[in-house]
Structure 1
Amino acid sequence: MRLNQLHSRPTSGGRGDLSVHAKDLAAIGDAAFTLYGRLEKDGEHAKVASGKAAKDLTDDFAVGSALTDVVEKWKKQVDSLLEACAHISNHLDYTQKAHAGDEYHIATSLSISKIDENFR
């Protein structure tokens, strides 16, 4: 019996099983959080500027109401992306904390002497 490694087996592309490290998760979560902040600010700026243009154009041109429709669609799309970014960021924060808790539990509850005792 081997407790210190997996059995050797061929894998596709010469790589092992999928693994993710905490710093990888943190980088993705940070990127999603940063994207959320920029999208919230820049998306709102575009909505306000386009909304003002739509209002100004509505008085004199038929294209104003079409631009108003575009602004409404833009807001829905930005809100959808903001929700996705928040979900990614929050989920990865939760995942990191959950796995850290699992690691702590395993490390504090696993006793080699207890394992040895059960194999005698």
Structure 2
Amino acid sequence: MAWDEWEQAKQDAAATRTRLNQLPPGADGRAPSPRADLVVHDDVLGALGDLARRLRDQVSRDGDHARVATSEAATELTADGLDTGGGLRAVHDAWITKLATLKDACAHISNHLDYSRATHRQDDHKIATDMSVSGIGNAIK
């Protein structure tokens, strides 16, 4: 990157401002469509969190049913001097690792949605309390 390109990039970055709860006006100068805003409802987040939790439970139960049999088969094949025992052991170990990763991801999604919902409720409560204490809430109604 040439020096003048760097300077231009710095100027462009300095000119950019954060816009909260709005989009920049369209090319025609009018306000953006209300459908362009992201809206998430608490009950939808709750349902998604429940789905992630149920998926984790199901994966934990159903994804592990052949672990013992596969491990025993790998041990017996290896003991019999067959190379497929080592291959089966590698598949077994990879499956267990991937299964744990999937379970962790489902738990992370569920926990994050629960945390987001709780934090949003706390923020809404604080805003409402602050507005009622300052008298703004009554003026808005």
Give the TM bin, normalised by the shorter chain.
0.7 to 0.9
Aligned partner of residue 44 in structure 1, secondary structure: coil
- Equivalence for 2:51: 31
Unaligned runs of 5+ in 2: 1-21
Aligned partner of residue 45 in structure 1, secondary structure: coil
Number of aligned residues: 111
Q: After TM superposition, what 4+ stretches of structure 1 lie above 3 angstroms from structure 2?
A: none
Percentage of pairs with the same residue: 43
The correspondence for 1:17, drawn from 25, 31, 37, is 37
- What is the alpha-carbon root mean square deviation over aligned residues? 2.8
The one-letter code matched in structure 2 to 1:68 is R
TM-score with structure 1 length normalisation? 0.78
Q: Which protein has the bigger helix share?
A: 1
Unaligned runs of 5+ in 1: 1-5
The answer to whether 1:109 aligns with 2:109 is no
If asked which structure has higher relative contact order (CA below 8 Å, sep 6+), I would say 1
User: Quick check: which has more Rg, 1 or 2?
Assistant: 2
Instruction: Give, in angstroms, the shift of residue 93 of structure 1.
Output: 0.7
CA distance in 1, matches of 2:60, 2:134: 54
Instruction: Give, in angstroms, the shift of residue 113 of structure 1.
Output: 7.4
Spell out the pairing of 1:14-93 with structure 2 (5 A cutoff): 15-60=35-80, 61-93=82-114
